[in-house]
Each structure stands twice: as structure tokens, then as C-alpha cells.
Amino acid sequence: MEPILDWEARYHEASVPWEREGLNPAFQRWQRWLQSHSGTAIVPGCGRSPELCALAQLGWRVTGVDLSETAAGFQQQQLHSAGLTGHVTACNLFDWQPAQPADLVYEQTCLCALNPDHWVAYEAQLAQWLRPGGTLLALFMQTTDPDGPPFHCGIEQMQQLFDPSRWEWHGTALRSDHPLGVYELGFRLTRR
């Protein structure tokens, strides 16, 4: 599945308006949950965002996946300089599988960066990556722009994509303002 943008070029050109300073506010609000659980965590489309290292700092055994060699190299370096262990793979997430199903997937601004024609395949990947009972922490992008990326991830559409027969939805949404002037809604889901 072909990516919709040349993401590597965006990192080279420093054209990365999605990057925020510091952790996503929803991540901070999930911190207590993250501290009281443990295991393996996958961050698809991890880019250069700090949540991968933050998960490793909380004791999660992390794997980041990103198309961009630059972003993957950056994350590996960040883990290394902080004395943390973790893997970062530079590849297309549609061509990748973990050795073992994971306990957690942290989805932040990856779904909205994919061609919506690929969303059904993406949901299938996440469902396959997670063990039954595993957790998906997802930040669904809310934008009024009909074009993307980022593409609008309307909650009704997300509830069809992450079908309640396959995913248990918990609690209410956490809102995070996004540097692009839009916002994300964070949800915790369990893979049935």
C-alpha cells in the first residue's frame, strides 16, 4: 500500500507541522493507567514524537514502526541516549508483523496520515498485532478540512471501523489540542 506523502522528504525539509513540543496531553492523562500496566507496546507511525521514549520510561517494551529512516533513526538515538531499550523499525507498517502479539498499541496521528482507502486494512493490522485483551490507545484526529492528511477521523466512522464486536470502547473521549489548529479525541479500546 503506497503512502500518500513522501514522509522522508518532509523530515528532510523540516516540514513537520504535526510535531508538538512535549507529550500529547491525552498521553499524560493516560499516564496512571500506563504506569499500572506493563508489557509490550507498538507505536505505528511513531515519527519523532516523545511518547515512544515515554512508554519505555514507564517500563513498556516498545517497538516503533515508521516509513521514514530519519524518524526511525531519531527514535533509536533518543532511546539510546536515555539508556532505554526498544526497537525501531523503518518500514511500511502494512508489511510488518510483530514476533508476538503485543499488549498495547499507541496510535497517534498515524491513521489520519494514511489514505482512508487503507483504513480497513490498518484496523485489521492493529487487531492482528494485539493479543485478545490487549489495549489500543487511539487519538482520532478531528478536522473540518475535507482534504488530508490529516484526514478527519469522525467518531461515528471510527465506531464502524473499530467495530464494537471486535473492540470494546471504554469511557469518554479525552480532547487534545493539536499544533495544526485542530484537535484529537483520545479513546481506550480493548481488543476482544
Report the amino acid identity of residue 74.
F
**Taking CB positions, which residue lies at the least distance from ligand SAM?**
47
The span of 55-63, 76-84, 87-95, 184-192 binding ligand SAM (CB under 6 A) equals 87-95
For position 110 contacting ligand SAM by CB under 6 A, the verdict is yes
Cα separations in angstroms, 175 against 41, 49, 160: 22, 18, 20
Which runs of consecutive H residues, i.e. helices, occur in 25-164?
25-35, 51-57, 69-81, 119-129, 155-161
Q: How many residues bind ligand SAM (CB under 6 A)?
A: 21
Q: What is the dihedral of CA 189, 155, 124, 45, to 10 degrees?
A: -90
- The answer to whether 3 contacts ligand SAM (rule: CB under 6 A) is yes
Shortest spacing between CB 35 and ligand SAM, in angstroms: 21
User: How do the residues of the chain divide into helix, strand and coil, expressed in percent and rounded to 5?
Assistant: 35, 30, 40
Q: Tell whether residue 70 is a contact of ligand SAM (CB under 6 A).
A: no
Nearer to ligand SAM, 31 or 92 (CB): 92
Shortest spacing between CB 164 and ligand SAM, in angstroms: 25
The cell numbers describing 2, all together, are 503506497
Task: Tell me the CA end-to-end span of the chain in Å, nearest whole number.
Answer: 27
> Among 75, 108, 125, 142, which residue sits at the site for ligand SAM (rule: CB under 6 A)?
108
- Kindly identify the residues of this chain, within the stretch 8-37, that bind ligand SAM according to CB under 6 A: 18-19
For ligand SAM, the binding residues (CB under 6 A) are: 3, 7, 18-19, 45-47, 49, 65-68, 71, 92-94, 108-110, 113-114
